[in-house]
Amino acid sequence: MKRRRTTALAAVLLTGAGLGLLTAPGAQAAPAAAACPTGWGSVQKTATAAATASLTDVRTGRHDCFDRMVLHVPGAGGGTLGHQVRYVDRVHQDGSGRHVPVAGGAVLEIRVAAPSYDPETGRATYRGTVARPLPGVDLAGYRTFRDTRFVGSFEGDTQIGLGVRARLPFRVLQLPGRLVVDVAHDWGAAAR
């Protein structure tokens, strides 16, 4: 009799209906891979606008499909924030022409129409040091970002070098008081 019960229980567990019994209460199935945006491309992205506010901070974040850099320019409002984001072989500082080395398989040069100082007082609003990594930015554990360098601020524009793993697709978003640069982890359509 005991053997029949064991055999019957095994048969129930092997059926589709019985498999639900093996799931712990409250457990959920693993979510499917997130669909990643596609079609960003790797060509230069530009918007023209005069500087109206100063850069105060740069932060980064990791997402399922991309790594993100956010440049904070409070007071820029919801309008257009002038910028130029493009892949370059080498980053050269405006004004001096000095080469600022940036590590990575490819380098994005990010220019934003916002000085890193208050134009009226000359007081620094962002504490970046030329040719040094961006203050407060730790890229440990990032899939795409490899290095950051403050390149300088000249005639109302600020330059940043962003080293990435390879030449990958990117997009630029403008939000009130922020310029966002997302660089995809790969050219594929699904997160890994």
Per-residue confidence band for 5, with pLDDT thresholds at 50, 70 and 90: very low
Amino acid at 17: A
Per-residue confidence band for 51, with pLDDT thresholds at 50, 70 and 90: confident
Query: Who has greater pLDDT, 190 or 123?
Result: 123
The predicted pLDDT at position 79 comes to 66
Q: Within 13 A of 14's CA, how many CA atoms are on the CB side?
A: 6
Quickly name the fold that domain 45-184 has: Immunoglobulin-like (2.60.40)
pLDDT over threshold 70, residue 3:
no
The predicted pLDDT at position 86 comes to 98
Find out whether 80 and 49 touch, Cβ atoms under 8 Å: yes
In DSSP notation, 106-149 reads EEEEEEESS-SB-TTT--BSS---TTSPPTT---TT-SSEEEEE
For the segment 128-140, the average pLDDT, to the nearest whole number, is 97
* Predicted confidence (pLDDT) per residue in 104-123, tens digit: 999 999 999 999 999 999 99
The predicted pLDDT at position 25 comes to 41
The predicted pLDDT at position 16 comes to 41
Per-residue confidence band for 33, with pLDDT thresholds at 50, 70 and 90: low
Mean pLDDT (the chain, rounded):
84
Query: Who has greater pLDDT, 162 or 13?
Result: 162
* Predicted confidence (pLDDT) per residue in 63-115, tens digit: 999 999 999 999 887 667 999 999 999 999 999 999 999 999 999 999 999 99
Q: How far is the C-alpha of 169 from the C-alpha of 155, rounded, in Å?
A: 29
Positive or negative torsion for Cα 120, 125, 127, 130: negative
